[in-house]
Amino acid sequence: MLSSFSPKPAERTADHAASIWVEFTTLAAETKAVNLGQGFPDSPAPKFVTDLLENLSKQPELTAAHQYTRGYGHPMLVYILAKMYSHFYNVQVDPMNEVLVTVGAYLSLYYAFLGWVNKGDEVLIIEPAYDCYYPQVKFAGGVPVPVVMNLAEGATSASQFTIDFDDMEKKINNKTKMLVINNPHNPTGKLFTRQELEKLAEIAKKHNLIVIADEVYEFHVWDKNDMVRFASLPGMYERTISIGSAGKAFSVTGWKLGWAVGPKQLLEPLKAIHQNCVFTCSTPTQMAIAQAFQLDWPKFLNDPKNSYLASGLSGELRDKRDKLARMLEEGNFRPIIPDAGYFMLADYSHLKEGLKLATEQDPDDFVFSRWLCREKKLAVIPPSAFYSSREQKEKNSNMVRLCYFKKNETLDAAEVILKKLGKE
């Protein structure tokens, strides 16, 4: 229907195009491809977690489970989170003032940028970077400043992604206000070492930066003791907003529940936005997640072999990681083995010449990913989307990103495709 009504949107939204998820999720659905692109498990959620929510749903008389709860987070949830993070950070986290529950980690991130970034403030972002950081910083009026990690030629491990700290410091000026650290890192699967994090802490302190520690994959490490949370480093709790995710922790991404943990003064602006935005999060899901943590936390500390968060989740992921790596090698890819998380990069550069892909305006990995989805029915994500400059997009367009947290049937179907591709 034609209309003469044509209002102009706010300028802040003018240069924000559709994300890669729109294109590649749609393409995967249209082609009925085996989807190793988007990062979510397609296997059943942990039964002990869903049973907790089911139990709450069967108690309509339990008014407290079905009506509004405390705006900044259900008391049950913030208390268990404060208990856990007090242990992780070796500080006393105040559940009422230093924990904020949000609709997914996404909103914790957005609140942090919106609450602390003024127009013209610069935010250091380590690339490749998850693609929501840039638009969120820009919506807040800030200026994203990329710090690109280097990857050794012929690399086979995510640990070979390294930060040029001298380059990072050269990009800091009197407008630089914030540093974003994603650890474990998406899309590379890198787990930053204590030494790397200590260097970042040194830079943050030297230049008086606020740190956003996006640690949503904190329980996706092969050994729980390998995860160094940034706020646990000396002097870092006071300047860090740490972000976590129930969806990632318990493999229930559709529940959309996250949190921010940090000192009261850092969380106050986030709370001001939250109370005038969504006000409060879903009560029953908060209660179920709280109960899940209450059940698992003692095991995490004292019986890790029987803890979902300490070993159950990571054990399942590690097996799937190893399976996908073998599959990719059969398909003539070079996998970059991740240290943590549930994503893997794979180099396909040696396939380029044989495929003779048509030249398009987009980087090669976009072209290859579309071809792989349309012609071979395997959906992946082009990781050049996680770089901001055209130069870096072109330089890093020889890989694809795959999610291996999929049920065996999905991985088996992908294996058939990769085997055929390897023989062509």
The answer to the question of residue 235 being in a domain is yes
Distance CA 322, CA 342 (A): 11
Q: Three-state SS for 128?
A: coil
Query: What is residue 17's predicted lDDT score, i.e. its pLDDT?
Result: 72
Query: What is residue 140's predicted lDDT score, i.e. its pLDDT?
Result: 96
In our burial notation (b when 16+ CB lie closer than 10 A, e otherwise), range 129-153 reads bbbbbbbbbbbbebebbbbbbebee
One domain, residues 171 and 293: yes
One domain, residues 329 and 291: no
One domain, residues 376 and 251: no
Confidence of residue 362 (pLDDT cuts 50, 70, 90): confident
Q: Which of 282, 304, 326 is the last residue of a domain?
A: 304
Confidence of residue 11 (pLDDT cuts 50, 70, 90): confident
Q: Which of 255, 287, 304 is the last residue of a domain?
A: 304
The answer to the question of residue 1 being in a domain is no
Query: What is residue 97's predicted lDDT score, i.e. its pLDDT?
Result: 98
Please spell the DSSP secondary structure of 37-65, one letter per residue. SSSS--SPPPHHHHHHHHHHHT-TT-HHH
One domain, residues 148 and 186: yes
Q: Which of 284, 304, 324 is the last residue of a domain?
A: 304
Confidence of residue 22 (pLDDT cuts 50, 70, 90): confident
* CATH number, domain with residue 192: 3.40.640.10
One domain, residues 271 and 352: no
Query: What is residue 368's predicted lDDT score, i.e. its pLDDT?
Result: 93
* CATH number, domain with residue 30: 3.90.1150.10
Distance CA 238, CA 65 (A): 34
pLDDT tens digits for range 285-312: 999 999 999 999 999 999 999 999 999 9
pTM, full prediction: 0.95
pLDDT tens digits for range 85-100: 999 999 999 999 999 9
State the average pLDDT over residues 160-178.
Answer: 98
Q: In this predicted structure, which of 161-170, 200-209, 345-354, 376-385 has the lowest mean pLDDT? A: 345-354
Distance CA 381, CA 400 (A): 6
Confidence of residue 355 (pLDDT cuts 50, 70, 90): low
Residue 65 lies in domain: 60-304
Instruction: Label residue 316 exposed, middle or buried (CB < 10 Å: 0-12, 13-18, 19+).
Output: middle
One domain, residues 20 and 88: no
Q: In this predicted structure, which of 16-20, 224-228, 341-345 has the lowest mean pLDDT? A: 16-20
The answer to the question of residue 225 being in a domain is yes
The two three-digit tokens of residue 95, written as one number:
């559940």
State the average pLDDT over residues 255-263.
Answer: 98
363: CB partners within 8 A, 6+ apart: 382, 384, 393, 394, 397
Query: What is residue 356's predicted lDDT score, i.e. its pLDDT?
Result: 62
One domain, residues 130 and 176: yes
The answer to the question of residue 48 being in a domain is no
Query: What is residue 50's predicted lDDT score, i.e. its pLDDT?
Result: 98
State the average pLDDT over residues 335-341.
Answer: 97
Q: In this predicted structure, which of 9-23, 25-39, 370-384 has the lowest mean pLDDT? A: 9-23
The answer to the question of residue 227 being in a domain is yes
The answer to the question of residue 141 being in a domain is yes
Confidence of residue 351 (pLDDT cuts 50, 70, 90): confident
pLDDT tens digits for range 176-194: 999 999 999 999 999 999 9
Confidence check: pLDDT of 144 > 60: yes
Confidence check: pLDDT of 26 > 60: yes
Confidence check: pLDDT of 369 > 90: yes
If one counts the domains in the chain, the total is 2
The answer to the question of residue 5 being in a domain is no
Nearest residue to 278 via CA among 21, 37, 73, 42: 73
The answer to the question of residue 389 being in a domain is yes
